[in-house]
Structure 1
Amino acid sequence: MKGKLSRVGTTYLPVKEVEESATWYAEHLGAKVNYKDNDKAILQFADQSFFLVKSPLGESANFTDSYGNECFSVTFEVNGVEALANLHQDFKGRDINVGKIEDRGHAGRNFVFYDPNGNKFDVWSELSPTFRALHHQK
């Protein structure tokens, strides 16, 4: 049976301050701010919508796995290891909290980074085959 859901359209992220967070995402990740009020901002980047939702201090999109490790809930993709290394350097130059580039035992490489609200994200050097085919990238 073919999947019933076509794609992820929106991801919701908790933030302390909507204005500051929207500005950070625009300046550091190239997000386009489509809407903003005191309680939320709607951003477009990475071929998806992200809602930044004003939340209490200490909230994040992270979770803890059964071994006690903090996990991310979103992995972004770039086109190749060189693109990953370039992005890693760019983030370090912007003083974004980034982890080291890792070999996790599968295709490609990864690194994690955090937004100013403590939301943890992953970046992977491999574009999904579906995205690659849709965008005619090789």
Structure 2
Amino acid sequence: MAQDWSHLASTSHYLTAVEIQHALEDGDLQAAREGIAALTEAMSRSDRRALRSQLIRLMAHIIQWETQPERRTRSWLVTIHGSRREIEDLCEDTPSLTRKVIEEELWARCLSAALREAEDEMGVRAKQRELSWQVVFETEYRLPLDGEQFDL
């Protein structure tokens, strides 16, 4: 019976790799090729989902940061910085996830989801309806450390 590679790859990357190994051991190169193609596609989808999730999380916290400056917390900073690191790691690990892909294929949908998430969390309409690449990835977000003074 032929292996349903797409289903297997969407269920478990590990089990797919094991089945590919079995196909190779059995000399079934065509099945192994199909398995590798399905696994590659599934892993790419998984990485895109992870990137979308982190981008929504990052954008939502920046929207909250801009809309409610009086409620800024260290937890928000940790989330902003952590999401940036996760996105950077995902892009390093998956070279096809470029700035162009993020801006052209993911940005609008993620921003829409982030606005909903932030507004649900805050209970008010977000002041900022658009976010630039610079605001999301380059602006430095900080709160004063103990004894440090600066304007927020």
* TM beyond 0.5: no
Q: Bigger relative contact order, structure 1 or 2, given CA contacts below 8 A and separation 6+? A: 2
When normalised by structure 2's length, the TM-score is 0.23
Structure having the higher Rg = 2
In terms of fraction of residues, the more helix-rich structure is: 2
- TM-score using structure 1 length: 0.25
